[in-house]
Amino acid sequence: SKRIAVLTSGGDAPGMNACIRAIVVACEGAGHTIIGFEHGYNGLLEQNWRKLDSKKVHNIIQRGGTILRSARCKTFKQDASGQLAANNLDELAIDALIVIGGDGSFRGAVHLGKFWGGQVIGLPGTIDNDIYGCDATIGYYTAIDTAVSSIDKVRDTADAFERIFLVEVMGRHAGFLGASAALAGAANYVILPELFTDPESVLNEIQQQVAIHRQRYGHESYIIVLTENLWPSGINALAEALETRTDGEVRPVILGHVQRGGSPVSQDRILATTLGVQAVRSIEQGKNGIMVATAQGDVVEVALEETWQHKKTLGNTLTHCMLTMLNERHHWP
């Protein structure tokens, strides 16, 4: 039997708790000891940890956030931190560490691996889905649902007042969340990093599309989905520019952190459970320095470095048909 540790790091994502639960249950079933470090890599540096068992993870599968808390830890990039973390893990006689987080957290895991002889396994947990080598990250499906239900609500009020709404969704620097939310929410236009040309072209295109939309549907609602960090001068400036161009009211809505919260949808719980159990199996098989994920229906293992050395494209997750729909979005009512 092994001594296994787990931590959650970076932005929290719905389903992290489901993943912790699966790891604990799988460890107990196989006779491994399992402990959890708190506050991401901070807990590793400060020896802030607790023993986990099935009682402690009872009734958490449906809860958003993470019972281990998550955090950023700026100092973890330093060699001294990597060494300190390695010493602390050795003091506790830990054989393997599971890191649930985004690509930054995976970089931290590889950094630790330079100083520590134990096994390091990464599990993709972020609402942004911006990790190469997997179809979906834990939290992504829930974030899409949250964004879509917000778009649905915005549409009700937009219809009542015949307005244009500009809805900003998260995604860091990737358009996965924006593309999926736009498709499922039947947005009329979407501004994504992957499809972005330059501000002037986008403004011209929206102006034309709104005119066509008004001809066809009268003054019904018009919803534009925008990915965060993309519009050079920010969402308010974009709204103002669009008011001038369309001669109508344009209301910006920033969904913000609500997208990180909420109870995980079933897809995220199932993904989290699958990956948690498989992480424990991979540790038993002696694996090290890998991300465990799912791709095209299979569980896969990807070298941690590859997850950030390659860029995941929209085409990795959306079919050609879906991409075509996004590009021709104005033809869809």
Site residues (vs ligand ATP, CB under 6 A): 9-11, 41, 72-73, 76-77, 101-105, 107-108, 111, 126, 128, 172
- Shortest distance (Å) from residue 185 CB to ligand ATP: 22
* CA dist., res. 112 & res. 110, Å (int): 5
The helix/strand/coil state of 123 is strand
148: closest CA among 116, 185, 197? 185
Strand intervals (E) in 196-331 = 222-227, 250-254, 290-295, 298-303
Of 20 and 206, nearer to ligand ATP (C-beta) is: 20
Of 129 and 282, nearer to ligand ATP (C-beta) is: 129
What is the number of the residue whose Cβ is closest to ligand ATP?
A: 104
Of 273 and 307, nearer to ligand ATP (C-beta) is: 307
- Shortest distance (Å) from residue 11 CB to ligand ATP: 3
* CA dist., res. 66 & res. 17, Å (int): 5
Of these residues, 128, 130, 145, 268, which one is catalytic? 128
* CA dist., res. 146 & res. 185, Å (int): 11
- Shortest distance (Å) from residue 256 CB to ligand ATP: 14
The verdict on whether 128 is a catalytic residue reads yes
**What b/e string do you get for 218-232 counting C-beta neighbours within 10 Å, with b at 16 or more?**
eeebbbbbbbbebbe
Sign of dihedral through CA atoms 268, 269, 270, 274?
A: positive
Report which secondary-structure segment, H or E, holds 16: helix 16-30
Of 121 and 224, nearer to ligand ATP (C-beta) is: 121
- Shortest distance (Å) from residue 199 CB to ligand ATP: 26
Instruction: List the catalytic residues.
Output: 128
